[in-house]
Each structure stands twice: as structure tokens, then as C-alpha cells.
A and B are shown apart, each in its own frame.
Chain A
């Protein structure tokens, strides 16, 4: 039974591709709008050979990584502060709770007003999307740190600073890591919005250009590349996360 499952699992994608190829070539559908995988593969090869793929990939990767890193640093820092210090929380939490539910994509128009089509605007969008998720998870994580650990640490003479660094931060880490992982996929959502809003390179930018030229194969190739990138990022993050909170 297990073997059968593995076998079928291994066949899943090839079967899907074969069916797609057959349907696309059968004449039932318009091949320009619905090209078979073989044509998509050719488009991707062309993309790579022209060298554009690497500059597009690099541009998108740079935006995601930079926006994510900045958002994560700000989110963790402020989350720990609002989680630990009621005064800071009273000051900032109401504001964050109002801003957080606004979908980051809704900020595209104002970002264009503020930043034009510059890189800063794109980083800002990714940052914005990542920040609130990470902030909330760090805030909740800090508040959920086992009181027993804090009391034990207090009884052992742990000073404030070490309490924050060692006990609170590590105690909140499982929550923070979950927040960061959610933020990885959010950073890709916001990347899409940022590049659709106007860019000069990037995977989503390439998809949009191809769409305008009716290069459907290139569009699908771009989607596949984006999907693969997001998938790899998530898997890598999951592995790192597992090692970071190994004691769970």
C-alpha cells in the first residue's frame, strides 16, 4: 500500500504534464493561449539563454530577501519591545492593530506616489507585508513565554538584560519562527504586487511583458519559476526553523 502511494506520488507530475501536452495539442483549446509544456520549456530555455532570466531572478530575489530581512528585523525588535514592556505596547499596539489588517497590496498606489517606480518602493511593500506578521508573532511569543521559566530564572538571579536576551527571546522563538515562515510567503505576494505596479526587471515584470506580447509560454514559464522560487524558499526556511527550535 505504501509502495503504491509512493509510486503514484512519483507519477503525479509527469501524468499531469502528459495530460496537459495531449490536451493542448488535441486542438480542443487554442494553443496560443494554452501552450503545451514542451513550448513552455522552450520559452524558458530561451529566457535562460538570453541571460535575462538571471537578471530577472536576481532582481526579484534581491527585493524579497532585502524586504524580508528588514521587515523581520524591525518586526522582531518591536514585537519583543511591545511584548515585554506594557508602556511601549500601549503606545504602539493600537496603531499596529489598525494598520495590520489593511492588505499590503492596497498600498501600491500610495507607494507609487511616494517612491515612483524606484527600488525603494518595492522594498517598502515587501517590508510592510513582512513587518506586521512578524511583529504580531514576536509580540504574542513574548507574552506566551512560560511564566515558570521566568520565575525560575528570577530565582537564579538573572538580571533584566539577560532575562530579555536569554529567556524571553529564546522562549518566544518558536512563535517568532512560525511568524517568519508565514512572512516568507507574504513577501512573495507583495513582490508580485510591487513588480506588477511597474518595474524594469524581475520575474513578475517578465511575466507581464510576455503577457503583453501574447507569449503565453513565457508567462507560464515565469509562473513556474516564481512557484519554484517560493517553494525552495519555504523549504529552506522550514529546515532552518527546525534546527533553530530543535528543543521542541
Chain B
């Protein structure tokens, strides 16, 4: 296995002590900065490079999708932004502060809802505010507001195992929003749902997005989902993961699943597919040659 040398911390520290000039110049303000991020896992077979020198940033209020084949390191990148994983080299800052551990200003929705099975819908959503020291009443009020927003008013006192997969995932989204995070990370949140539920959930998320002002980083292996939802799509290559292309999606909003028939959408999708195909062939040739 290839070895990665740890970069000297001082060089990075210097690079980041520069003032955020962009905001002052009236440009969009960067909220997430991923710089030269590499992640290496120690496994029984030796070291595995999951993420290889990935650099990108996300502006406040943006909706960015990361697409790539499974195993290319999307979850690893997202977990690092979440503070659940620490960089091997490089660094991640959110709101100008280094991510070293999970922080309440960064929320996360996983592929599985991971709801607390012993808590009702309301108490699942109220969990975050309670942990941040809100009173029972305040937490409950926050939860009730979010329950209305996700349209599960009738199920406030229901327990997770009585809900469908789509409903559970809506609760998981509401739970992540309850702490009013600046950044919402979503790791293939609709990946485990059937096609019909998934498209309903996508439309729901598009609507929801108009009402919250969080910045969203959304990971998916589904190109259609990425283009439908995103302001920008980052295309990652297969292992070790790198960012291949950073594409703006200039399709009008509000959007819905109907946009998939729009010629501009189709043209954009074709570009992406060509890129992915070329890259896939290159990776395949390389792996069969090596």
C-alpha cells in the first residue's frame, strides 16, 4: 500500500491565518473549507487511502451534492466535515473553526434514520435541544414546530418502529434540524428508500430547503438526485477518492422531479455521464493493468 506523508502542520496553519477576503469583497462567504484532505484507514491488509488530497469549499446557503461510485470516499469526506473522523493530513474548517469533534452547528442525516427506538417522534426530535440545555418545554415546542413542517403531526407520539422508512427519515431530518445547524450534512439519506418514496422525499427536501437557511452538503451515488437538488455538483473518482469536477447547476428554482425532462437538465446530465464514463474506463484500465 502507498504511504502518505503527514504534511507539516505549520504550513497549513499559515495558509488559514489569511483573512477571509472573499466576504469583504462582497463575494459569497465560505462556510465549509476542505483543504488538501487525505484520510487513511489502517486495515488488516495494510493502509487504505480512502480520500486523497481533496480540496473544495462551500458557500453559505449553498446546496452542494457530492456524487461518486460507492466506496470512493464520499461518506468519509462527510464524516470528516461532521467531526466524526479526523483528517490524516489536511484539514476541515466550518465557520472558520477547525472540525475536530462533532459540533451542534453541524447536523447530520445518515443513510439509516438511526432514530432512538425507545423515544417517540417528538422526543427524538427534542433530543438535540435537550442536550444543548433547553428546557423540556422549549425543546418540545421546537419539536412540535418541526413535526408540523415535516407533516407528521398525527405521529408525534408514535414510536419509530411503527413508521415507514420514508417517515423515519423525515423524522431524522427534523431531528438534525432541531439544533438549528448552520450546516446540514446528508449521507445518501434516501438511498435505502424505494424509488417512489425517494422522489417524494426529494420534492419534500426541495420545499424544505426554501424554508431553512442551512448550508447543505448532500452525498449520493445517484446523478439524477444530485442534479435535481444541487446548486453545485462535485464529482468524485473511484478509490482513492479525489474530486474530478466541480459543476455549477444553473437550473431554475423552485424545482421538482419534473425538471428531469428539461433539455438543460438532460444536457448537464450527459456531460456528467461522459465524464464519469471516461473516468470509469481509466480506473478500470489502470486496475487491470496494475
Q: How far is the CB of A78 from chain B (nearest CB, A)?
A: 23
**Interface locus among A3-11, A48-56, A149-157, A185-193:** A149-157
Q: Is B66 an interface residue (CB 8 A)?
A: no
Q: How far is the CB of B34 from chain A (nearest CB, A)?
A: 18
Can you spell out 28 A-B residue pairs with CB atoms less than 8 angstroms apart?
Answer: A146-B114, A148-B110, A149-B114, A151-B84, A152-B116, A152-B172, A152-B175, A153-B116, A154-B84, A154-B102, A155-B84, A155-B102, A155-B106, A156-B131, A156-B175, A156-B179, A157-B102, A157-B103, A157-B104, A157-B179, A158-B131, A159-B131, A166-B116, A247-B117, A247-B118, A247-B159, A247-B160, A248-B117
Q: Is A162 an interface residue (CB 8 A)?
A: yes
Residues of B within 8 A of A (CB): 82, 84, 102-104, 106-108, 110, 112, 114-118, 127-128, 131-132, 159-161, 172, 175-176, 178-179
> Which chain B residue shows the least CB distance to A150?
B114
Instruction: Assess whether A157 is in contact with B131, with CB atoms less than 8 Å apart.
Output: yes
Instruction: Say whether, besides A154-B102, A155-B102, A247-B159, A149 and B116 are in contact (CB < 8 Å).
Output: yes
**Which residues of the partner chain B approach A162 to less than 8 Å between Cβ atoms?**
131
Q: Is A178 an interface residue (CB 8 A)?
A: no
**Which residues of the partner chain B approach A155 to less than 8 Å between Cβ atoms?**
82, 84, 102, 106-108, 176
CA distance A149 to B108 in the complex (A): 12
**Which residues of the partner chain A approach B110 to less than 8 Å between Cβ atoms?**
148, 151-152
Instruction: Assess whether A157 is in contact with B128, with CB atoms less than 8 Å apart.
Output: yes
Q: Is A108 an interface residue (CB 8 A)?
A: no
Interface residues of A in 94-152 (CB under 8 A from B): 146, 148-149, 151-152
Instruction: Assess whether B161 is in contact with A247, with CB atoms less than 8 Å apart.
Output: yes
Instruction: Assess whether B131 is in contact with A148, with CB atoms less than 8 Å apart.
Output: no
> Which chain A residue shows the least CB distance to B125?
A156
**Which residues of the partner chain A approach B104 to less than 8 Å between Cβ atoms?**
156-157
> Which chain B residue shows the least CB distance to A162?
B131
**Which residues of the partner chain B approach A146 to less than 8 Å between Cβ atoms?**
114
Interface residues of A in 210-248 (CB under 8 A from B): 247-248
> Which chain B residue shows the least CB distance to A167?
B116
CA distance A162 to B130 in the complex (A): 11
**Which residues of the partner chain A approach B102 to less than 8 Å between Cβ atoms?**
154-155, 157
Q: Is A39 an interface residue (CB 8 A)?
A: no
CA distance A151 to B107 in the complex (A): 11
CA distance A56 to B176 in the complex (A): 58
Q: Is A164 an interface residue (CB 8 A)?
A: no
Q: Which 10 A/B pairs are nearest by Cβ-Cβ distance?
A: A156-B128, A148-B114, A152-B114, A157-B104, A247-B117, A155-B108, A157-B131, A154-B102, A158-B131, A247-B118
Q: Is A170 an interface residue (CB 8 A)?
A: yes
**Which residues of the partner chain B approach A153 to less than 8 Å between Cβ atoms?**
116, 127
CA distance A182 to B105 in the complex (A): 45
Q: How far is the CB of B189 from chain A (nearest CB, A)?
A: 12
**Which residues of the partner chain A approach B118 to less than 8 Å between Cβ atoms?**
170, 247
CA distance A144 to B131 in the complex (A): 23
**Which residues of the partner chain B approach A166 to less than 8 Å between Cβ atoms?**
116
Q: How far is the CB of B112 from chain A (nearest CB, A)?
A: 6
CA distance A158 to B124 in the complex (A): 12
Determine which residue in A148, A149, A156, A166 has the highest number of CB atoms from chain B within 10 A of its CB, and name it. A156
CA distance A153 to B82 in the complex (A): 13
Q: Specify which of B103, B112, B127, B159 is in contact with A148 (CB 8 Å cutoff).
A: B112
